[in-house]
Structure 1
Amino acid sequence: MTRDEEIGLIAELLGLDAENSKFLDENVTRSPIERYSCPDRFADEMKGLFRSKPVAAAQSFELAENNAFLSRLVSGLPVLLTRDADGLAHAFLNVCRHRGAKLVRDEAGCKKRFSCPYHAWTWSNQGELIAVSQESQGFPDLDRSQHSLKELPVYEAYGFVWVIADSSCSDTGEIKKSLAPLSEDLNWLGLADHRIAVEETFEIAANWKTLIEGGIEAYHFRVAHRKTIGPYFPDNLSTYQMLGDNMRSVLPRITLFELRDQPRKTWNIREHANIIYSIFPGTQLLVQQDHVVWVHLEPLAVDRTRVRLATLVPNSAPQTEEMQKHWMRNQAITTTTLEEDFELGEEIQQGFASGANEYLTFGRFEGALHRFNQVLENAMKVPEDA
């Protein structure tokens, strides 16, 4: 985010409040319930979105050391992330190339090589097959180069390891292209110099899109969050901007109005607003005053989503017991608030199954939801020359 953009966003929100207005889209729109409840539709989204678009598979801090590794689910597929002895990040399908067993069962660690728990075929952390038990007798003509681990496109930038969960794709260009419109903002955040201080994981009985939609509008704050953060935010005041397929949402706190009488050169948006970056399709960054919450959505089924919340803090912050308590308190506030959204999301999913509605209705001040779904639908379209 440039300084001019920061000043412009604050001025826009102050202007909307002064006019007792909202950031409005042209029309009220609808979203069919089938988009949130159809298993076939979900399968298409996994293939057409989550396995063809970049996903923040890890924060760079998690692979801080050379020869570190992570084993985790990425877009529904078992993935092995490694950092080799030269410091380069790699991503592979975590699947043995002999008989298909899961190669690495540990969630994290530090290793230069990985032996399959089934027959002990062994690969380097660069994906090369380096040992085969009883090879001369059992596999006399084996071409090891044809049995390397299936590699995935990987690109490390802005403090994350980005992966496309498609082994048929060998080019990182799609990752760079998708992130390019966010480059100024992500550089502004400086997350390459952050670490994970606290993290939690939840499984929510709701479609992943419902959870995204709940985080990009302020219309519900005074009602759904009246006992938590609602009183700290003006009623239904927000703005958003599209950055390529991604979105930047700004939800001001009531302290923003104090800036009316302050020189513009002193304005600081992080001190007076929550900024949410929705990185298409399923990564969100909630920017707070002194930290950033990484919200990672892993769709498991049409009506089930795993959500990982990780508080990212500057490496320069003191690593003391007192500071850790501070980060834990902040994570607890975020978790309490999001659990209110999660409960609503699960109830909404139950409502989908009831048949009460054929579609959802998005008001003009819920335009961010329409834009998100518009991007999604465009991404799902099959090119005419395909």
Structure 2
Amino acid sequence: MNAPAQPIHFHRPVSELVQSDKVHTSLYTDPSIFEDEMEKVFRNTWVWVAHVSEVPDVGSYKTHWVGKEPVIVVRDRKKQVRVLLNRCRHRAATVCEHKKGKANTFVCPYHGWSYALDGSLRGVPHPESYGDILDKAEHPLVNLRVEEYAGMVFATFKDDIEPLSDYLGPAKKWMDLFMKQGGSFPIKVGGEHRFKFPGNWKIQLENTTDAYHFPLVHRSFLHSVDKQTEEMLDFVGGKGYVEDLGNGHSVMVMIPDLIDLEADLERPIPDRYTDLAEALRAEGHEEAKVRQIVRAVGGSGFNLNLFPNIACSMAFFRVLQPISVNETEIHHSVILMDGGPPAGNRARLRMHEHFQGPMGFGTPDDSEAWERVQAGAQAGRDLWVLLNRGLPAEKKTADGVAGDVSAETGMRAAYQQWKKLMTA
């Protein structure tokens, strides 16, 4: 029996749109490719939906998306985290409109069908009209499969998918290192800001492991920091590296000395944190704890990309939400120390605002670059996006392959996973 024909985009099968050193520009611009991605990528892999700190108690919830499908992430009465499709089983209205909150039930505003926190259908107004033809047990909110690692909650539509632990693979050790930003306290999401940019989601996916752009795009940010910080962030050409971790995941190590935030705490405290250290001492913390908190406040020296939609980036979570082929929403979540010292959390908030905030020196410049990529991608009918930087010097590692810090290794990793899912 012949295999089904592959869809053709710009006169090429989808399997030919991703090559070892380049991808076809139609991956940014073809609406039919985007629609295929929502089915073949986002419905067929593990997708990040929440950090456990966002649903701490019974009834705590947040609304999110898996691809373009709205979901509710909620902790049920047995303290289990559920991911429910945000769609009434009667006439399809959403049953929750708030971004976050606390609830005992979810009630459809259209006809009043009510659902328990585990998604089961609890009540229907005027049930006598149905006679005996409505079995409530047959109409719960749809539950997705859910698993957690290191406080990160992932969901999938695919029941027979590999366990999350296997999917994450070598990325798990980097997730464990990233969570050390609590400075011995648990980490928590301390709020987020959202914005949209007129570009394809994969343009942003590439950015988190793109050190090549940093000294140019973020020149204004580098001019806004002290000399010591500027020198620390001059990592292009340094000893860092980018590593392919399998399944589309990758890590970009920019500052190798800050991989493990609990190592070498006896090193001098940077000048920019002198005031913070004094404030922590004034709060009564011992010197060892002061050094641990100060180190944690500065964030990790690496960016971790977890395919397809979440980045653990230095000191924040960056979540991408595809909207259309040429529109993406970004959620930037600040990471705080749950129960940690107020001085430390204030410092992390100020740092987040400085780079990631709407008036910051970093993300606004990034989003301008992403927008220009989408605009430029409209030029030419059959052109390619080059991803060959660092390819000649890549070396095999225990976990995959690695290149220098400005290599496009992470992008190549993500697109090979994209190709695997899109041609499965």
Task: Indicate which of 354, 375, 383 corresponds to 1:333.
Answer: 354
- Contact 1:229/1:337, CA 8 A, preserved across alignment: no
> Is the aligned partner of 1:251 residue 2:254?
yes
> Is the aligned partner of 1:47 residue 2:28?
no
Q: Work out the CA distance in 1 between the residues paired with 2:372 and 2:382.
A: 14
> Is the aligned partner of 1:309 residue 2:326?
no
Q: How many corresponding residue pairs?
A: 341
- Contact 1:293/1:310, CA 8 A, preserved across alignment: yes
Task: Indicate which of 341, 344, 349 corresponds to 2:374.
Answer: 349
Q: Work out the CA distance in 1 between the residues paired with 2:408 and 2:179.
A: 30
Aligned to 2:386: 361
> Is the aligned partner of 1:102 residue 2:123?
no
Instruction: Report the TM-score, using the length of structure 2 for normalisation.
Output: 0.73
Q: Work out the CA distance in 2 between the residues paired with 1:198 and 1:96.
A: 28
Task: Indicate which of 163, 167, 170 corresponds to 1:178.
Answer: 167
- Contact 1:68/1:109, CA 8 A, preserved across alignment: yes
Aligned to 1:281: 308
Bigger shift: 104-113 or 149-158?
104-113
Aligned to 1:234: 235
Q: 1:178 to 1:312 in 2, by over 3 A?
A: same
Helix, strand or coil: the match of 1:209? helix
Q: 1:185 to 1:136 in 2, by over 3 A?
A: same
Aligned ranges 1:5-24 → 2 under 5 Å? none
Q: Which runs of 5+ in 1 are unaligned?
A: 1-26, 257-261
Q: 1:249 to 1:234 in 2, by over 3 A?
A: closer
Q: 1:222 to 1:70 in 2, by over 3 A?
A: closer
Q: Work out the CA distance in 1 between the residues paired with 2:340 and 2:164.
A: 30
Q: 1:222 to 1:90 in 2, by over 3 A?
A: same
Q: Work out the CA distance in 2 between the residues paired with 1:203 and 1:347.
A: 14
Q: 1:145 to 1:263 in 2, by over 3 A?
A: closer
Q: Which runs of 5+ in 2 are unaligned?
A: 1-18, 224-229, 269-291, 391-406
* One-letter amino acid of the structure 1 residue matched with residue 303 of structure 2: I
Backbone CA RMSD of aligned residues: 2.9
Deviations 1:98-141 (A, max 9, x none): 11111122322222222211111111111111111111233432
- Contact 1:81/1:92, CA 8 A, preserved across alignment: yes
Higher helix share: 1
Q: Work out the CA distance in 1 between the residues paired with 2:82 and 2:113.
A: 19
Bigger shift: 83-92 or 65-74?
65-74
Task: Among all aligned residue pairs of Structure 1 and Structure 2, give the percentage whose two residues are the same amino acid.
Answer: 23
* One-letter amino acid of the structure 1 residue matched with residue 317 of structure 2: W
Q: Work out the CA distance in 1 between the residues paired with 2:28 and 2:85.
A: 28
